[in-house]
Amino acid sequence: MDTGRTLVLFLLVLKANGGSHSLLMLATFIIGDTPFPEFSAVVMLDDVQLLYYDSSVKTALQRELKWAEDGVLKMDASIVFGNVNRGMEFRAHHLKRKLNHTSSLHVQQRLSGCELLDHDQPGPMFVHDAFNGESGDHLSANKDQYSFRSQWHWPAMWDILVADQVKWLHKSLYHPICLRTLRTYLHRHKNHLLRKVKPRVRLLQKRLPDSGEVRVTCLATGFYPRHINLTLLRDGQPVPDHQITGGELLPNGDETYQMRKSLEVSTEELQRHHYKCTAQHLSLDNKLDIHLDLDGSLDPASATPLWVLISIALILMFAVTAPVAVAIKCYRRHQGQPNVYALAPTTLAQKTAPDTPPED
C-alpha cells in the first residue's frame, strides 16, 4: 500500500505555506484476523505525534511531548475517535460487499485534518479515504462550503439525506474541534512548535571511483520547521528534476531535519559550468547561496577566513614549541649545578677517615 507515501505527500502539501500549521489524523480499520487492533488512529500536530488511540484500549494516549492534561480535549478525542471508528467500520463492510471482494483481509484507511493559515485564519478541512490501497472518497471543507467528490471506481453510497448529515457533522463537530485543538496546543507549546532553527548548507563534491564522474551534492541540515526550498543550480538555472537524486526530507535525532540533492557530472562538465546551492527557509531573512568555483573548490565567500587559519596555525605552533622550550631550560639549569649524588661518597669518605700524623 502507498499509505505512508500518501501521508508524507499530504504533510508536505499542508506545509507548503511556511506560516501554516496542521492537525492530522491517520486512521485504519481492519477486517480480518491480524495481530493489530481492529481500529487505530494517530494524531499529528505539524510533525509531532500528539495522540494515539485504538479499539483495544479505547483511550487517547498522549505521546512524545509532555502535553498538559485537558479534560475537554480528552472528551473531544473520545467523541471523535468513537464516531470515526463506527463510520469506517460501516464504510469498510459496505465496500467489501459492493466491490465483491472475497479475500479475508481488508483495510480501510482515512487521512483527515485541518489547518490554520497565516494570522490565525482557519484553513480548509479534508477527509481522504482509501480501501485496500486504492484512493476513493474525498471530502473537502472550505469554511462555509462543504462538498463531496468520488474518485476511481468506488460505488456511490451517499444519498442526499446522508450527505447532508455528514456535511453537518463535519461543519458543526469535527472542524470546530480540530481547529480548537490545533489552536490550544499551538498556544501551549509555541516555544517548541513555533521555533525557527537555521539550516547549515554545504555544497559538496565527491569523485566516484567506478565511473570517474563527480557527484555534486547540495546538503541542508539542522533546520526547523520542516519545510525548505533547496535548489541546485547550474549556470544560474535550476537543474532539471529528472537529473537530480535525493530530495527527500529526513529527520535528525535532535528534532531537526535534513535534505540533500545530488547531481553526477563529468570532470569536464564540472570545469565548464558554475554550480550553486540555494536555500530558502523561514529562519532565514534572505536566500542563502553557496557556490563552487570552476575548479570545484569552495568559493572565497564560503571558505574559512584567512585570519582564522592564521590563528589556528599560531596556536598549534605554541602548543608544540612551549613544551620543548621548558625541557631545554630545565636541562640547562641542571647542567650548571654540581652533581650532589656524585660528590656524596667522596665527602663522606673524608669525614669518616681516621686522622694520621704527618710523616717526618
Q: DSSP states of 13-56 as a string? A: HHTTSTT-EEEEEEEEEEES--SS-SEEEEEEETTEEEEEEETT
Residue 296 within a domain: no
For residues 126 and 257, state if they share a domain.
Answer: no
Residue 355 within a domain: no
Whether the pLDDT of residue 317 is over 60: the answer is yes
Residue 59 within a domain: yes
For residues 54 and 175, state if they share a domain.
Answer: yes
What pLDDT shows up at residue 147?
A: 60
Nine-digit cell at 345?
Answer: 661518597
Alpha helices for the chain (secondary structure H): 3-14, 71-98, 160-169, 175-188, 190-193, 267-272, 306-335, 340-352
For residues 276 and 180, state if they share a domain.
Answer: no
For residues 256 and 174, state if they share a domain.
Answer: no
What pLDDT shows up at residue 3?
A: 40
For residues 54 and 86, state if they share a domain.
Answer: yes
Whether the pLDDT of residue 303 is over 70: the answer is no
Residue 297 within a domain: no
Q: What is the mean pLDDT of residues 19-38?
A: 89
Residue 353 within a domain: no
Share the mean pLDDT of the chain.
75
Least confident among 116-120, 128-132, 254-258? 116-120
Whether the pLDDT of residue 71 is over 80: the answer is no
What pLDDT shows up at residue 229?
A: 94
Residue 356 within a domain: no
Rounded to the nearest 5°, which phi and psi values hold at 202?
A: -135, 150
**Domain final residue pick, 193, 215, 250:** 193
Residue 354 within a domain: no
> Please, is 202 exposed, middle or buried when counting C-beta atoms within 10 Å of its C-beta (0-12, 13-18, 19+)?
middle
Q: Which residue has the higher pLDDT, 303 or 139?
A: 139
**Domain final residue pick, 291, 316, 338:** 291
| Order of strands, sheet of 288-291, starting from the edge strand that comes earlier in the sequence | 237-238, 229-234, 275-280, 288-291
For residues 10 and 65, state if they share a domain.
Answer: yes
What pLDDT shows up at residue 165?
A: 75
For residues 149 and 225, state if they share a domain.
Answer: no
Q: Decide: 195 and 48 in contact? Cβ < 8 Å.
A: no
Q: What is the mean pLDDT of residues 223-229?
A: 90
For residues 89 and 228, state if they share a domain.
Answer: no
**Domain final residue pick, 177, 193, 209:** 193
Distant-in-sequence, close-in-space partners of 332: CB < 8 Å, separation ≥ 6: none
What CATH number is attached to the domain comprising 26? 3.30.500.10
Q: What is the mean pLDDT of residues 122-138?
A: 82
What pLDDT shows up at residue 160?
A: 54
Q: Domain limits at 246?
A: 200-291
What pLDDT shows up at residue 75?
A: 53
Position 38: which residue type? E
Residue 30 within a domain: yes
What pLDDT shows up at residue 343?
A: 42
For residues 233 and 339, state if they share a domain.
Answer: no
Rounded to the nearest 5°, which phi and psi values hold at 215?
A: -95, 120
- On whether the pTM is more than 0.85, the answer is no
Q: Which of 2-16, 292-306, 333-347 has the largest mean confidence? A: 333-347
Least confident among 58-72, 283-297, 325-339? 58-72
| 3-28 per-residue burial string, b: 16 or more CB within 10 A, e: under 16 | eeebbeebbeebbeebebbbbbbbbb
The number of distinct structural domains making up the chain is: 3
Q: How confident is the model at residue 301 (pLDDT cuts 50, 70, 90)?
A: very low
For residues 283 and 321, state if they share a domain.
Answer: no
Q: Which residue has the higher pLDDT, 142 or 207?
A: 207
Whether the pLDDT of residue 321 is over 80: the answer is no
For residues 214 and 338, state if they share a domain.
Answer: no
Whether the pLDDT of residue 118 is over 90: the answer is no
Q: How confident is the model at residue 74 (pLDDT cuts 50, 70, 90)?
A: low
For residues 60 and 166, state if they share a domain.
Answer: yes
Cα–Cα distance measured from residue 158 to residue 166, given in angstroms and rounded to the nearest whole number? 9
